[in-house]
Structure 1
């Protein structure tokens, strides 16, 4: 997660953290009582929100596999990755393309330490400690791991809500990527009461989220060619495309308009 816009405390079990709350909603174990309290509040006041998060996760995996299989991309970069949540991007893409390489990025040293243990000796995946909102520093840290002269699939899954100026982040990334690269974005919708209310609840626990409108999301990918079907709810982006065992299918009865999903092609 980015450091500039969200307060986090390493090892602080008294204050909720966005990565751990998401881990809780996805059924993980890397969370504390304070994170469970926020997740429970969301469940009570925003029924279906956890399913929206699960849909966004499923979209991330489908889009990553699409980039590997349909677009021929062999390098993957997940920014603000958070805690491991199998199946992960590297597992999905290497199942489809054996030589695919994945680099995860997070600014929380606890997340990074956790992931390094998980990825120990994995030849296909690694993690970098960096703030993805600092594009110059990020690119320097990726220099030995990602070849920016070749296409890269960059994922920003439910993390741009934490950033005050996401356009600067996306534009900086797109400007550094080779033609044929893909940018995968899921973003909570400012057009949906559910997402707006969820952001208020996060705020009451010290985490600032910024849901954005369809037009806002459209502006984020203005420099990209949109992959069909364009900007849609996560469940509607190639919903039947995944055939990798273990990839979550679209959750039933999830609110369909609380999140936007889009894949943009660079060049």
Structure 2
């Protein structure tokens, strides 16, 4: 793969994985508008590993406490907030994994079009804007119940529809449940880790079954760039979130989604 393609695609994945703007909406642009060739399954695995490394590194203290607390509870050592959070991440991941196993083939065959991505980008962008406007911000992460987690988990499953944005829909659900902006965003980032791990593992199994020779230089560079850009993205987003809110992302989604639909309409039948 050309170096320029590696850099652009890795940065797109890293920057858009955690922003509420839809990574699939951006990844379709090089292939559809610039006629770039498909980057291949190995590269997809690499950038997933990169974004997973970024979220685990950024929230390393939280994840270490979470794992320790969960293992301690499982071994009979008593419960804690972090043990409860560990169970919440497991429960919240189940709907997306189940939906992925059931509908992955249908989505790949019928929903990965520029029209669907454009419409989903606009529709879920409007929903994000409404949720941010109507937010009450009366709750923090420690106030969450398992019923809240199931709602956010089911919302995350909707992100299988290209153009939805995993972070966007989970933050939307969190805001609608009364979470503060930063609490909704942090839980969305926590919840991304097991799902990215599951998706990356699934893609790795596909890669092994295909028996392809991995382009290790491309993979290493893609993973590194996606990790660095994702780490920076998480930091900047959390720092600026209360200052700028969701509206810059909502407006951007409306423009991007409208542009994608417009380009689709101009494509030859």
Task: Please report the TM-score for the alignment, with normalisation by the length of structure 2.
Answer: 0.26
| Higher RCO (CA < 8 A, seq sep 6+) | 2
Q: Which of 1 and 2 has greater Rg?
A: 2
Task: Please report the TM-score for the alignment, with normalisation by the length of structure 1.
Answer: 0.26
- Higher relative strand content: 1
